[in-house]
Amino acid sequence: MKLISQNKYHQEHNTAFFSGSYNGTKDCIKNSDFVICDHNVYFLHKELIDNKDYFLLKGEEDKNFSVVEILCEEMMKSSLSRKSTVACIGGGSVLDTAGLACSMYHRGLKALFFPTTVLAVCDASIGGKNAVNLSNRKNMAGSWYFPEKIIFYPGFLKTLPAIQHMEGFIETIKHGLLENEDLLKNINAFLKQNYPGENDPVTINDSYLNILIQSALYKIKITSEDPFEKGNRLRLNAGHTIGHALETSAGLSHGRAVAIGLIIEHSILKELTGKDIFLPSNFFPESLFKDLALPDPYTILQHAISDKKNLNTCLRFSSPSYVSPDPILEASEDLVLRKIMEFQNDLPQWQRKHP
- Over residues 214-262, the pLDDT tens digits come to 999 999 999 999 999 999 999 999 999 999 999 999 999 999 999 999 9
Q: At which of 105, 135, 159 does a domain end?
A: 159
Tell whether 209 is covered by a domain.
no
Same domain assignment for residues 142 and 290: no
Predicted local confidence at residue 8, as pLDDT: 60
From 140, 159, 178, give the residue that closes a domain: 159
φ, ψ (nearest 5 deg) of residue 158 = -70, -20
Q: Domain limits at 326?
A: 229-355
Do the domain assignments include residue 170? Answer: no
User: Which regions in the chain score pLDDT beneath 50?
Assistant: 11, 354-355
Which CATH number goes with the domain that contains 277?
A: 1.20.1090.10
Rounded to 5 degrees, what angle do the CA atoms 45, 152, 213 make? 140
pLDDT digits (tens, 9 = 90+) for 7-58: 666 545 668 888 889 999 999 999 999 999 999 999 999 999 988 899 999 9
Q: Give the distance between the most distant pair of CA atoms in the chain.
A: 59
Residue 300 in any domain: the answer is yes
Same domain, residue pair 141 and 250: no
Cα atoms found within 13 Å of the Cα of residue 133, Cβ hemisphere only:
17
- Please, which residues have CB within 8 angstroms of residue 288's CB and are 6 or more apart in sequence? 166, 167, 256, 259, 260, 350
Please check whether residue 32 lies inside any domain of the structure: yes
| Domains in the chain, number | 2
pLDDT at position 340, please? 97
Q: How far apart are CA 169 and CA 183, in angstroms?
A: 12
**Nearest CA to 150 among 166, 128, 173, 183?**
128
Catalytic residue list: 107, 129, 171, 219, 229, 233, 237, 240, 244, 254
- Would residue 208 count as lying in a domain? no
Q: What is the pLDDT of residue 59?
A: 92
Pairing of strands 34-38, 315-318: unpaired
Identify residue 16 by its one-letter amino acid code: A
Residues 148, 11 share a domain: yes
Does residue 214 lie in a domain region? no
Crossing angle between the packed helical segments 181-191 and 206-225, to the nearest 10 degrees: 160
